[in-house]
Amino acid sequence: MWNALTVDVEDYFHTEAMTQVAPRDRWSKMDLHVEKNTWKLLELFDRHGVRATMFFLGWIAARCPGLVTAAVAAGHEVACHSYWHRPVCQLTPDEFRADTLQAKEIIEAAAGVEVVGYRAPSFSILKGMDWATDILTDLGFLYSSSCHPIRHDLFNNPTAPRAPYFTRSGLLEIPITTWRLFGRNLPVGGGAYLRILPFSYLKAGWKENADSRVAMMLYLHPWEIDDKQPRLPANLKSRLRQYMGLKGMAARLEWLFSAYSFTSAREAFAVGSALPKLTSPHSLQPVIV
């Protein structure tokens, strides 16, 4: 059974947790770790026969176009993660359109292929923000993975659908995978949860989705395999969120890739059937949801 593996290609200082100590006007002066970490992920994926969707930050694609080119050459899907990593819920429609278009054009120029997938920073397209998905459709996107239907201090969205659905503009929204237990959506979709939460809990959540024949949508970041990244002087909560579990992340990914089959979001969820599909590393057929 197919599952979607996605990577938000950003660096350690781009996260919302580090906004206060790494403002955007300082980014160009900070040491980049994203190149070496992304290459490590590409090598790990190749070793396990994994294909992924790489949601590139436009800011990264402008400075490291070779990473975009390498991802395409390795058979991965390239998609958009905004330009400046600003939460969409904090932008006006005009600001969102300009940011997204700038990122899309830069990523496409480096990739040499059309970009049809989008992920909002911090899963920040929330209830009542249909204007944002309308703009994505207008800009030529076919799908988004900008919804994480859980309780959270940054992107609280617990009543959003857990299954893929179409927005009013016809955009396919593919939520991050959750585990429905005791009447609540519990996080098992990746990121900090993959690094920090007990592995037995994560395995149980993944098994529940697999037993239900539900294709999973998982995510991670290149900086999450980098225990050597600089420690920024953020508050305690932000430091815990950013730095816990870094040492064990690679081992958890090794297990995950051995236990489940992964491909791009576009293939796992059969997005844009009229478009040519990426080369698949597996013999199984895509799951259509």
Residue in the structure block whose two tokens are 């979607």: 4
pLDDT confidence of residue 288: 27
User: What b/e readout covers 169-196, taking b as 16+ CB neighbours within 10 angstroms?
Assistant: eebbbbbbbbbeeeeebbbbbbbbbbbe
At 285, the pLDDT band (50, 70, 90 cuts) reads very low
Would you say residue 150 lies in a domain?
yes
CATH number of the structural domain spanning residue 215: 3.20.20.370
* Segment 145-192, tens digit of pLDDT: 999 999 887 788 889 999 999 999 999 999 999 999 999 999 999 999
pLDDT confidence of residue 278: 42
Would you say residue 225 lies in a domain?
yes
Distance CA 117, CA 6 (A): 11
Q: What's the chain's Rg over C-alpha atoms?
A: 17
Residue in the structure block whose two tokens are 């400046």: 84
pLDDT confidence of residue 121: 97
Would you say residue 279 lies in a domain?
no
Would you say residue 157 lies in a domain?
yes
Cβ neighbourhood burial of 166 (10 Å; 0-12, 13-18, 19+): exposed
Residue 204 structural domain? 2-268
Would you call 235 helix, strand, or coil by DSSP? Answer: coil
pLDDT confidence of residue 155: 80
Asked if 174 contacts 144 with a C-beta cutoff of 8 angstroms, the reply is: yes
Q: Tell me how many domains the chain contains.
A: 1
Would you say residue 285 lies in a domain?
no
By DSSP bridging, strand 178-181 and strand 184-187 are antiparallel
* Segment 196-225, tens digit of pLDDT: 999 999 999 999 999 999 899 999 999 999
